[in-house]
Structures are given as C-alpha cells and as structure tokens.
A and B are shown apart, each in its own frame.
Chain A
Amino acid sequence: MTAGVQALDGVKIVEFGSYAAGPHVGKMLANFGATVVHVESMSRPDGFRMQYPPYKDGKPGMNAGGCFAYFNDSKYDVTVDLKNPEGIGLAKRLADWSDIVIENMRPGVIDRLGLGYGELRSSNPRVIMLSTCNMGQTGPRADTPGFGSQLSALAGMCGLTGERDGPPMLLYGPYIDFIASTLGATAVLAALERRQRTGHGAYLDVSQYECGLMFLAGPMLQFHRSSKIAERAANDDPDAAPHGAYACRGEGWIALSCWSNEEFSRLCGAIGRTDLARDSGLATLAGRKSAATLIHHALAAWAHDSNAQEAAQLLQSAGVHAHSVNSVAELFTDSQLVSRRLWRRRRHPVIGDQAYCFPAFELSETPGDITASGPVLGADNERVFRDFLGLNEDEFNSARAKGAMD
C-alpha cells in the first residue's frame, strides 16, 4: 500500500482487535509502511463501526462510520468467523504469515480460540504477539471488562483534572487507550529490533492501566517518597505564576504562563500594565502566587477585549509562553499543523473525503504516509487470502462456502 521505501516495508501485521487500543497500534505502523490486516467478522464487526458516531450524513451504516475509518486508515480489512473452525484455520494461516499479531480481547479469549501465543509460536517461532487489555493478562482483576473512558479515572487522570473544590472531570473519549496504543507500538518495535538481532519472537503483555501510570510517574514517586497525594489544581502550576487560561473576545481563550520574574515583566509590558511590572511585591514567584487574584483580574480584563490568536502572537513576540486554546475545529486550520501536513485527506468509498491524522513525528528519510482511507468491511478478503496467503481459487471458494469469511 506504500509507495517508495518506507521504514517498516515488509513488516506484516495481523490485528485480532477492535475499538481503539489494538487497532491504533497497527494504524501508526501502517503509516510507516507496515502491511496491516485488520480482522473482523460479518457477525461481529469492529464495535467502532456501528456503536460510535459520527456517520456519513448522520445515518449509521457498517461502512459509514468516521470513527472506525479514522483509526484504521492504510490497512487491509478481512472478515473471518472466529466461531467457525474453518475461520480459525484461516486466522491461523494469517498468524503464520505475519511478523506481528495484535489482539485486545479480554484475557484468555484468544487462547480459547486456539490463537494464543503458545499455539501461534509452535508454527511461527519468530512471531511477536501484543496482548493489550485494561488490567493486563494476570493479577486478581485481570478479567475486568472496561472502557478506556472509565479506566482513565482508575489511573488517576480524571481525579487530577478539575477545580480544587469541584468534582473530577472527564477527559475526552478513551484517553488512556491511546497512551496504551502509543506504548504498545513502542513495545512491538522494540521486540522487532530484538528479533532482528536474535531471531526470537516475543509475547508482550500490556496493561492499559499500567501504561497510563507512566504518564503520572512523577506524582506516583512523590507519593511513595512522602505519602503526599497529588491533587487537582485547576490550571495552577507550583513553579509558574501566572499560569492559566483567560477568556478572550468571542468564544476564544488564551493559555499563558510565566516561568521567571523577567518573563512576568515582559508579559506586563505586552498587556500595557507596566505598573504591575514595577510592583516589587510581584517580582517573585511567591509574591505573584499571593497576588493571584490581582493578576488574574488584570489578565482577564486584557484578554476580554483581545482576539485569542492575535493575543498569543503578541505575547510570543514579547517572549512570553502563550497559545490560544484550540477548539477541535481550529486544529484543522492551525497554521503549524497545516504546515506539518498533520491532516491528510483520502477518499473513502462511502464517507467521501475524510481527514486522517498522521502520527506526531516526521522521518526525514522514510517519511511514511496515509496510504488509504479506512477500509470497507471485508474489502480485501480476496487480496489478502489469495495474494498474501496464497490460497488458490478452489481453496478460497471452499473456505468462503464453509462460512470462514462470514
């Protein structure tokens, strides 16, 4: 699917996964040249297809979902009935063909299907398998079902978001799933590196919960050191003042922060409040923390009449940390993201033009790309089973007739 030499050319990946945490791993690797086959079935398609809007023209449809397409660009899609012995046989052949197998079922399910690591390794000793789930494959709560949106609460992120005296806050969607997919991709690539050197495959057990904690490693160490519990603090930061978001003209907001006395002085100059810069009581971090209300009012009054983007430009020119609070819509017009070509439009057969998100890193020599839109359910059965696996016409037709591809 990729033109030119890419970093992961020749790396073959099969996903027995759905929703976010598994498929997003494959999506990132597909963007850099890996051949990724997403396995679903007609009776049990990926839950992102029908359970998560938005849909083309607002009408739910198996191939009309933007959410599914967004996380599965640049992949091939096949249908395999994993409740059918013929389907299991086909799945096994896919696993034998692959370098990497990704699954995010509940612990034990993939083993019961006969597609566990032990089984796959017996015929493909170099295979790398990533199992990712809420709690990991072992432990007293390994079998806990769950969604990432709620797991973000267990892992501490929601409790650390909100006003000091208010309730915890939601983070959008299954926040922690994408931490796990990013770290899962890291683990898969490290295992691939090891295989290059040793010839050995690997079994990777990723707990999405534990991955999330890597994003709070500092607060966790703080607790272990001193029993001090990290608490939500709105937008405050212990090392900067001011440090917050201020409402601008219209619906805009600006985020800004000052990390030194000199930066605060520059901020005061930029907003026309040199009187504050001359106030010796505000010339220290502690002084500005004590006078937080005074500074807040000054910034709020200035921001109220300012355009958020123009205000950010003004402050940056003055050498002050600042950026407008981008709405999701503004991410599509942000000049920096446009310059990086973060969004790449590809034509989906049902949805039409859709913007796909490229990973956050660019490679100078093997740049990668979004090579195709999200796939239609089972779009690549013939290509994958015939061309990749080498089934002849009779074998293919026989497998299909026996319901292996239902």
Chain B
Amino acid sequence: MLDCCGRLGWLAGRLLADLGADVTKLEAPDSDISSVDWSALNVNKKLVRADLTGSGGQSALDEIASTADILLATPHPGSDDAGLFDYQRLCAINPRLILVAITPFGLTGPKACWQASDIEIMAAGGAMGLAGEPDGAPLRVSAPQSYAWAGGQAAVGALTALAARWRTGRGQLVDVSAQAAVITALAHAPTFVDIAGTTPKRAGAFMTGRSVAGAKYRVFWPCRDGFVNFILYGGTAGRRTNEQLVAWMREQGFDLGPLARIDWARFDPTRASQAEVDGMEVPIGRFIGSLSKREFLEGAHRREMLGYPVSNTADIATDPQLEARGFWQDIPARDGRTERHCGAFVVVDGVRPPLVTRTGQIQRVVEKAQKT
C-alpha cells in the first residue's frame, strides 16, 4: 500500500497498517515530519522520501503504483496533485489498483475545489453547529477530528473496494468526502429535521429536550480535580444508577436533601420541573464535588452506575483498563528513543496486532525511477 496523503488522510493508512497492510508513506524530501500528529498517525508505516513533482516524480509514482494494491492520496481537485493522482492513467498502468482519494468535499461537485482545514470541514459537516453553548459560538474539538472521520471512512472504502476486487479482478476509484464523513458523527440528528421538522441545536454543558416541562439537566459536574459526566436518566439503567448514587452518598454521610424522598422506580426525568431538577442537583453537586475523577470512575464501576469522568490525556495514559488490555505499544522512534503509541484499535483472535518498524525495497525503486 502506498500512502501519499497529507494530514487529511494519515489515519487511513495507520488503520490499515495496524491490521497488517504493508504501508509505505511517501513524503517530499523537504516535508516537515516533526509533529506529534505525524508520528502518531504514521507509525507502523515505512517512510520513503521522494520528490513526486515534475515528470520524474510522475514516473516514479507510476512505477511504484504498478505493483501496489492500494494508493491513498489527498489530491486537491484542480491542482497539480490532481493530475499526479489521475485514476485513468494509474488504472491503465495497474488495472488492479485501488485509488483512494481523500478530499475535504469529494472530487466533484460545486465545492470540490474549495479549501478547507479541520474547522471548515467540521463547520460544513454540521458538527460545529451542534457543539458549544446555545447562545455562544459554534465550537470544534480542539484536536482535529474531521481528518480522522475522513481517514476512517477511507479505510472502510479501501477495504470495500478490495473485497470487490476478489470478485471482479479490477481495482476502482474510492472518492472520500471529509464533509460527508463528519456527518457520521452527528448520530441521528438529521432525522429530527427530516421527520419532526425541528433542527437540533447546540446543547452546551446541559442536556435539554428531555423534559416536557422544559427542564435542563446538568451533564458536567465539577469535581475535585476536574469534571464528571453524570446524567439523571430514567428507565432501568437510570434507576439503578440513581439508587446507587444515593446509597453511595448515604454511606459517605452526605445530606440527601430532596433525593431522600424520591422513589427511583417511579422517577421520570421527562416530567420533572426545573425547580425539582435544581433541587436534586444541589446535593448531587456537593457529593460529586468531594470526589476525584478516579474515585468517581472506580466507584461508579463498582456500583454499575452510568457516568464517566471527563478525562484528559494524563488520565487516559494512566488508566488501568488500557494498561491491562495492552493498548499502549512502546516502539523505537526514528531518533532511537522509545515512544509510547496508541496500539492497534482491535484485538484479533485474542492478540493485539503489534506495531512494527518497517523496512523495504521501495526506496531503491524510487531512486532508480527518479534517476531515469
């Protein structure tokens, strides 16, 4: 597999490499590969420096693509890149080649040539419109997500085309739109527009739309060292969670206030008034405020409650669950130091596929093609 992607497509090759594909990452001779994102998303690939500009570059690409199964690229429609990764030419050289083109909006259409980075793609895909305070600015996640959504869909597309090749013997073009990929993240929000004629809005830090009385429920609760995500749900799962919370508070000697009078078997969050919700949230807030994130995580797990702390990267890095499953993989970095990476995302037949440092022959192929 050849990975000629810019930032938009890095995850696609990483996912496929983690599942065993032999992925070669082509980078321009002078491209900057010092960022943590580059390292994190291009681990498990061979790195080859190659100048793909000009006719020499095209010849080099054609030669190495002639034996590849999959070529991942992020060509910008209308640019020179688009010519370099022209499917008709590559298909003539290697009819079995699967070309995966990952672009902000897709290869064709009225916005195909538009420029977009993560923030514009998250805006175009509807995700920003749903994140942030209701009366505040739409927000993106501070670590780019749209590139990952595009990369994930590209991986599915590449392997779907590979499955087709078993049947037809031919490769094909996979045209991935990052804008459309982000829509995957919106869950069923589009159905409200389509069926109910209402448009979901930004919810901020509260859960709204669950109460016929218009009450809003707190989702993020300050705790000793950050925040906890806890929601007063109804139903069977909510009942157990609410009962366990109250039992936990009682054991710790906390004043239950109005919680003491609630029959959780009958509690229906859809019928509570704002005053009732506010009354319940005062003692809950005092209790959660006394806990650390890890104490909440462990206590909630022990009691089979719904709810999780709002983790930061330090919390995640030290989570015993991930350690126990061997999620982190320590491998040598290019400078010789050992680096700890997210491992493969799936455990196959009881084994997490290991990350490896790959070597190969392709560097010489590129050099030879460029000389000629």
Contact = CB atoms under 8 A, between A and B. Distances in A.
Given A28-B156, A175-B185, A359-B153, A243 B119 contact: yes
A213 B340 CA distance: 13
Interface stretch (B46-54, B142-150, B256-264): B142-150
B284 interface: no
Interface stretch (B33-41, B246-254, B271-279, B357-365): B33-41
Choose among A194, A218, A364 the residue with the greatest number of B CB atoms under 10 Å from its CB: A218
Contacts of A283: none
Contacts of B291: none
Contacts of A244: 119, 137
Interface string A51-79: 11111101000000011011100000000
A43 interface: no
Nearest to B205: A167
Closest 3 CB pairs of A and B: A173-B187, A361-B157, A189-B159
Given A150-B308, A245-B137, A327-B129, 7 more contacts: A138-B347, A140-B321, A183-B346, A186-B155, A193-B162, A217-B40, A221-B339
Contacts of A177: 187
Contacts of B111: 316, 335-336
A367 to B, nearest CB: 9
A220 B195 contact: no
Chain A at the B interface: mostly helix, strand, loop or mixed? mixed
20 contacts: A55-B196, A70-B188, A158-B220, A161-B141, A169-B133, A196-B166, A210-B327, A213-B342, A223-B314, A244-B137, A323-B116, A323-B123, A325-B138, A327-B199, A336-B105, A339-B110, A355-B194, A357-B184, A361-B174, A366-B161
Interface residues of A, number: 155
Contacts of B153: 182, 359-361
A362 B160 CA distance: 10
Contact of A160 (B132, B142, B189, B194): B142
Contact of B313 (A141, A219, A319): A219
A46 B279 CA distance: 34
Nearest to B110: A335
B128 A170 contact: no
A202 to B, nearest CB: 6
A329 interface: yes
Interface in B57-103: 87, 100
A241 to B, nearest CB: 12
Contacts of A71: 188
A80 interface: no
Contacts of A3: none
A233 interface: yes
Interface in A139-181: 139-147, 149-151, 153-163, 166-175, 177-179
A172 B11 CA distance: 23
Given A7-B161, A321-B116, A172 B321 contact: no
Contacts of B194: 66, 332, 354-355
A189 B115 contact: no
A203 interface: yes
Given A141-B301, A218-B40, A227-B314, A321 B115 contact: yes
A203 B220 CA distance: 36
Contacts of B356: none
A205 B343 CA distance: 14
Contact of A363 (B160, B311, B345): B160
A218 B124 contact: no
Contacts of A254: 123
B313 A136 contact: no
Interface in B1-40: 11, 14-16, 19-20, 35-37, 39-40
Contact of B229 (A53, A158, A259, A332): A158
Given A7-B161, A217-B342, A257-B120, A209 B321 contact: yes
A354 B192 CA distance: 11
Contact of B304 (A145, A205, A206): A145
Interface in A281-330: 316, 319-330
A223 B328 CA distance: 13
A109 interface: no
Contact of B137 (A213, A235, A321): A235
Contact of B156 (A145, A182, A354, A355): A182
B290 interface: no
B190 A255 contact: no
Interface string A332-344: 1011110110110
B369 interface: no
B180 to A, nearest CB: 4
A153 B308 contact: yes
Interface in B156-206: 156-157, 159-164, 166-168, 170, 172-181, 183-196, 198-200, 203-205
B269 interface: no
Interface in B294-327: 297, 301, 304, 306-314, 316-317, 320-322, 324-325, 327
A142 B301 CA distance: 10
Given A337-B180, A365-B164, A365-B168, A154 B156 contact: no
A204 B347 contact: yes
A161 B231 CA distance: 18
Contacts of B100: 361
Contact of A178 (B125, B132, B133, B185): B185
A139 B321 contact: yes
A150 B307 contact: yes
B157 A328 contact: no
Nearest to B137: A245
A339 B179 CA distance: 13
A185 B180 CA distance: 17
Choose among B100, B188, B193 the residue with the greatest number of A CB atoms under 10 Å from its CB: B188
Contacts of B280: none
Given A183-B345, A328-B189, A224 B317 contact: yes
Given A7-B164, A150-B229, A334-B124, A171 B130 contact: yes
A257 B348 contact: no
Given A51-B235, A203-B349, A232-B142, A328 B184 contact: no
A230 interface: yes
A331 to B, nearest CB: 5
A9 B106 CA distance: 25
B123 to A, nearest CB: 4
B100 to A, nearest CB: 8
B306 A157 contact: no
B301 to A, nearest CB: 5
A401 interface: no
A171 B141 contact: yes
